[in-house]
Structures are given as structure tokens and as C-alpha cells.
A = this chain, B = another copy of it.
Amino acid sequence: MKLSTWFGCSSWLPQYNREWLASDLVAAVVVTIMLIPQSLAYALLAGLPAEVGLYASMAPLLAYAVFGSSRAMAVGPVAVASLMSAVAAGQFAQGDVALFYQASVVLALIGGAVLIVLGILRAGFVANLLSHPVVGGFVSASALLIAVGQLGSLVGVSAKGETFYQTVIALFNNFSSINATTAAIGVLALVWLWAARKWGKQVLKQIGLKGLALEIVFRAAPVVAIVLSIVAVSVLELNSVRTVGTIPTDLPQLFFPSMELNGWIDLFVPAVLIALVGFVETVSVGHALAAKRKQRIDPNQELLGLGAANIASGVFGGYSVTGGFSRSVVNFDAGAQTPMAGVFTAGGILLATLFLTPLLTNLPHATLAATIIIAVLGLIDWHLPGMLWRYSKRDFAAYLLTVVVVLLAGVEAGIIAGVVFSVLALLAAISKPHMAVVGQVPGTEHFRNEKRHKVSMVDGVVSVRVDESLYFPNARWLEDALLEVAASKPGTKALVLQCNAINHIDASALESLEKIDENLHAMGVTLYLSEVKGPVQDQLASSHWYKSIQSRIGLTHLETVRLAKQNE
């Protein structure tokens, strides 16, 4: 690894020019407007003071700019990671507020370190264990969990539960104590945001706005809700409405975790899950945006970039960050050319922290709850379950299991259940490959499945094709299957295994082939192999058994069948 490959910015910083500067500045303005309410809202969702969301929206953007590989990525707090962080820190701190904050920061630090290590080892493939149905189910169920969890804040009652069920029950039980003023603000904000998202662009176009101006005004809809609700609370002196309160205007400080080693160990697994889920979203966004400009991202470089961003977040007292989907798309559409746009966005957030936060004291929680609800409902892919049901029942089962476990037992249990199920289901599929007894298609040199084609068989010679690499999950199946075929066809003298679909034979399968050879021999049947691929044959050559089977391996299947017949 060359030094320059550690720094993603080496690919664009040397060519940085005035044209890019202008584009990046404009994009930064749009993203800053979008990011201010989001940082505050997601920090509350993560169970943290609002300013922590701002801290997580400065240093991480600088770190990503240095190490990341995607040009238009916008990192920062996102909904799902905030929920996961809240759950993990809550379970760890058991009600201790100071410890909760420590845990939230440590989650970012561990997650960042893990991502960097994976990046250095070029081991990003572990994120592949999060299959599409599992991620889809997880995000949809988490979004539902988040939306329901925010209903309490929206209408001014306390309704916190670790699971979906508990939250719904708490909501019902406390229904009578709704704060009407809060509810009015919350519902109005919700309707406004929903209408703005649905009709906003249309209306703005009719007014005559277009291009960048349209984009900025459209993205400012949450800002409008925030300003109006602050004004309402301040002017009407709505003291019963729960607000954000005083936000310190301090710059982010260096954070020194005072947690013992055992704490770090306890937080390891949730930190890894948060980091991997974030990585999957980041890479997915990165690929989509890069392709639009015929660029490429390097997933291992993304591990370094996102890892550095999380470390930077933690070092300055922020919490877990991710490359957000909608935010990055906005950044891209607004014209961001390089991660310098992120640097400028961080500057915008810094200015907001210094000068705007005093104005936010009267910002109602209900307004932020409305922005969260609208944001997360957009994350749910309503078509996915139907599509999975039609395409593959196994994938549908993985989706359903993940959704149900997330709702009943929480986010961590859900994602673990989904991954374990997917892996076991994959191993089960590999463990029972498709196998066919094949015969010669008359007049050709081709051998095809006897069940699908009219084929001719050679007396005493059975031909079998296996459509899967031979790995330990199917090694013993192979023993069962081949001995079964030989035993079911009396008079068999030779069995020829056509290996054209076998890309690997691992040590377990080698052992099984040896046993099959031996057991077939005991039954008076000789084993032959045909069409063994080059790399597979090279590996087989390093085994003892190869010496005894070598003379029974044929280049084409037809040749091998003829050889078997001759030797009978």
C-alpha cells in the first residue's frame, strides 16, 4: 500500500480549481441548511443533547474529505445509526446520563477503529454478510420503530420502550396526558413537512423558481417549520411545550473517555454492528453517485474514510456517523464536485453552532420529532416484501425474520438473527446442490440431464453432473448422493462425475471423494472424473489420492465414458 493510497484526497486535491470551488461552496450551503435541523433531531433520537449532533457534523466531514474516496458523499448523523446508538448506550448505561454520553462516544470510536482495521486488511467483504433482504428488513423495521418512538415527543407525552410493543403500550397508557399545545405544533409541523415533500417542488416550479434556487428553498422546508415553531413558542409564551433549551455555543472540545476496559469490551459488538450497517449504506450511496459521473469508489478506501470520520467524531465528543443517503443525493444534485463541499459544510455548521444556537432555545421537541418521522418514513421500501415473496421464499423469510425480531426484540437482535438466518440458509442451499444423471444427446458430443432430454446411455456406465463447487457443507451430501446413484442402478461398473460446474474442491470434499472412490470400489464400481477445470486439477495434484485417480480423469466427458467402457 503506497502512502498516497491512504489519502483519498490525493485523487482530487492536486487538481483542485476555481470552478470546483464555486460548485462545492453552493452545495455546502444547501447541505448546511438541510443538516442543521437533522443534526439536532438525530442527536435527540440518539438520546443525546442537541449540540452533540452538531459536533458530529463538523470534524467527521473534514476527516472524510481527507480519507474518503467518494466525491459527493455527505457524512454525519443518520436516523438508523442514531437509534442503534441510543439502544446500545441505553443498555450499557442503565439510566446513568454521564455514562450514556460516554458510551455513545465510545461506540463511535470503536466503530471507527474497526472500520479502519477492516480497510487496512482490505476485509470489507464482511459487510457483505448483511444481505439485501436483511438490510431492507432492518431499515424498514427500524424506521417504524423510530417513527413510533417519536410519536410521544410529537404529542408531548413520555412513551419510551425498548421494543415496538413496549413503546406502543406506553403510548396508549399515557394517552390521556397529551399536551394539546405540543400536539398542535407537532401535527402542524408533520403536515407541513409531508405536504412540502409531496407538493413542494411542484408549487415552487409554478411560482417560477428553478435550478439551484428551487433546490435551496425546497430543502429549507424543515427550517421554515423550525423558525415558525420557535416564533410561536416565544411569542405566545407556550411554557408547557418541551423545548431544546439552552445549547452551549462552545466549540467542540477534545473528548477524553474515562471508561474502563470492560466497558469498551461490552460495547464492541454493538459498535461493530452500527459501523457495518453504516458502511453498507455509505458504499451503496457512493456507488450510485459515482456511476452518474462515470467515476469509481473503492470500498476499502470507504472503510478508511468512514472509519476516520467516526474517530474524528468521537475525538471531538460526537457520536456515530454514516454517509447519509438523502443528504448525499442533495449534495450531488446541488453540484458538489469534491469532498471540499463537506469541508465547507463543516464550516457552515461551525458558524451555526457559534451564532444560531442561542436562537434555538425555544425550539420544540415536537418539531424535531416531525422532521424525524417524515425522514424515516422515506426509508421504508414498501415494495420490497412483495418483490422478495415473488422472487425467493428464502429471501422473503430472511426479510420477515429480521423485521419481526427488530420489532419484538430490538435492533441488535434483529440484525444478528437476520445475518445468522441468511448464512445458514445459504449453507443449506450449498449443501444440497442440483445433481443430474446425464446421457449423450444422440448425434452430438453433448451430455444432458436424462430427465429433460432424450439421451442415450452406455451400459454399465453412469454419468453424473453436479452443479456446484464442492465445499464442506455438501461434502457428505456428495457421498450420500453418488453412492445412492450407484446402488440404485444395478449392473453399474463405472461412475463418471462430470466436473465442468465445479470451481473449487476443498479438503473436506477431497476426503469425501476419496471415501466415495473407496466405497464405490467396495461395491465393484470404478469412479472416473471428467472435465476437471485447470485450477481444480492443479490443486488435486498436490494430494496423495491424485496418483491413484489420475489415470481415471478424462478431458472431455465423452472420452472419459469411452475410457470407462474400455476398462470394464
Chain A residues close to B by CB (< 8 Å): 125, 127-129, 131-133, 283-284, 287-288, 290-292, 294-296, 299, 387-388, 390-392, 394-395, 422-423, 426-429, 431-434, 467-469, 471-477, 479-480, 483-484, 487, 501, 503-504, 506-508, 510-512, 515, 518-520, 522-524, 535, 539, 542-544
Contacts and interface: CB of A to CB of B under 8 A. Distances in A.
A541 B422 CA distance: 23
A335 B83 CA distance: 67
Contact of A125 (B128, B131, B477): B477
Contact of A518 (B291, B434, B523): B291
B523 A294 contact: yes
Main secondary structure of the interface of A (DSSP, over half): helix
Nearest to A511: B132
A106 to B, nearest CB: 26
Given A128-B474, A473-B128, A287 B543 contact: no
Given A391-B543, A522-B294, A467 B508 contact: no
Given A128-B473, A294-B524, A474-B128, A515 B387 contact: no
Contacts of A475: 128, 131-132
Given A423-B427, A501-B503, 20 more contacts: A128-B427, A128-B475, A128-B476, A131-B472, A132-B508, A290-B519, A291-B518, A291-B522, A291-B523, A294-B487, A299-B476, A388-B507, A390-B542, A392-B539, A395-B507, A422-B472, A426-B427, A426-B471, A426-B506, A468-B503
B503 A433 contact: yes
A479 B287 contact: yes
Given A127-B476, A472-B422, A467 B503 contact: yes
A127 B474 CA distance: 10
Contact of A133 (B288, B484, B507): B507
A132 B518 contact: no
A80 to B, nearest CB: 18
A296 B480 CA distance: 8
Q: Could you say which of A125, A133, A519 has the most chain B C-beta atoms within 10 Å of its C-beta? A: A125
A477 B508 contact: no
A199 B433 CA distance: 46
